[in-house]
């Protein structure tokens, strides 16, 4: 996993709980705690930090990953504003995760092993996303989507239809997007 993800986790934890909480997690997980954004670090280290957060907060792995995704988005929006201002709404932002966001991420962070999402719109208009990654971080994806929905002010109903952790062959989500708040009409 790229160091930038560890940097993001540190920033999200620091903002929510204070910087000393990051040190507590580092100590509890036994990881080095030194991460450069371009470096590559074993997935076991992010899992050890997540496990330490699970123990500290009495949450399960999915809850910690989902919290991380939700809280990473405001940080990402400060670090990479163009990814956000380039999308007209939350749905468009999420639809661009493969060919815009993660495509740019791979240029910025060579060697990044970003997940892939198969996407289509079903007959009801829902966005169907299949999550393809050996990392089993579907809850992180959910958190990113929910964080983006909050950032854009476009509520989303996120349903986890299938999950590899429940024995399904792949993870699949259905997203029902509400209309954006009518900022222009209100003006």
Which residues bind to ligand HEM, rule: CB under 6 A? 1-2, 4-5, 76, 80, 83, 94, 97, 101-102, 105, 109, 112-115, 133, 135, 137, 140-141, 144-145, 148
CB of 109 to ligand HEM, least distance (A): 5
CB of 21 to ligand HEM, least distance (A): 22
Please identify, using beta-carbon distances, which residue of 18 and 132 lies nearer to ligand HEM: 132
CB of 168 to ligand HEM, least distance (A): 16
Contact 170, 130 (CB under 8 A): yes
Please identify, using beta-carbon distances, which residue of 5 and 12 lies nearer to ligand HEM: 5
Half-sphere exposure of 179 (CA within 13 A, CB side): 4
Contact 5, 12 (CB under 8 A): no
CB of 173 to ligand HEM, least distance (A): 9
Please identify, using beta-carbon distances, which residue of 123 and 134 lies nearer to ligand HEM: 134
| CA separation, residue 108 to residues 18, 38, 96, 150 (Å) | 29, 8, 17, 25
Please identify, using beta-carbon distances, which residue of 22 and 131 lies nearer to ligand HEM: 131
Residue recorded with tokens 């962070």 = 109
CB of 146 to ligand HEM, least distance (A): 9
Contact 105, 31 (CB under 8 A): no
Please identify, using beta-carbon distances, which residue of 27 and 106 lies nearer to ligand HEM: 106
Contact 112, 106 (CB under 8 A): yes
Cα 145 vs. chain centroid, distance in angstroms? 7
CB of 124 to ligand HEM, least distance (A): 21
d(CA 148, CA 170): 23
How far from each other are the two terminal CA atoms of the chain, in whole angstroms?
44
Cross-strand partners of 126: none
């Amino acid at each position: 996993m790229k160091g930038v993800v560890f940097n993001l986790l540190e920033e999200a934890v620091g903002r929510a709980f204070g910087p000393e909480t990051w040190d507590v997690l580092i100590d509890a997980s036994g990881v080095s705690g030194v991460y450069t954004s371009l470096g590559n670090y074993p997935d076991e280290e992010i899992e050890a930090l997540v496990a330490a957060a699970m123990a500290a907060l009495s949450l399960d792995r999915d809850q910690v990953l989902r919290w991380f995704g939700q809280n990473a988005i405001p940080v990402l929006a400060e670090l990479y504003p163009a990814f956000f201002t380039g999308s007209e709404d939350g749905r468009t932002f999420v639809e661009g995760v493969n060919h815009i966001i993660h495509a740019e991420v791979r240029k910025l962070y060579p060697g990044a092993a970003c997940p892939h999402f198969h996407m289509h719109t079903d007959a009801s208009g829902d966005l169907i996303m299949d999550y393809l990654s050996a990392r089993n971080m579907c809850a992180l994806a959910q958190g990113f989507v929910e964080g983006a929905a909050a950032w854009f002010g476009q509520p989303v109903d996120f349903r986890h239809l299938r999950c590899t952790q429940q024995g399904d062959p792949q993870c699949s989500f259905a997203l029902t997007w509400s209309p954006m708040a009518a900022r222009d009409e209100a003006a």
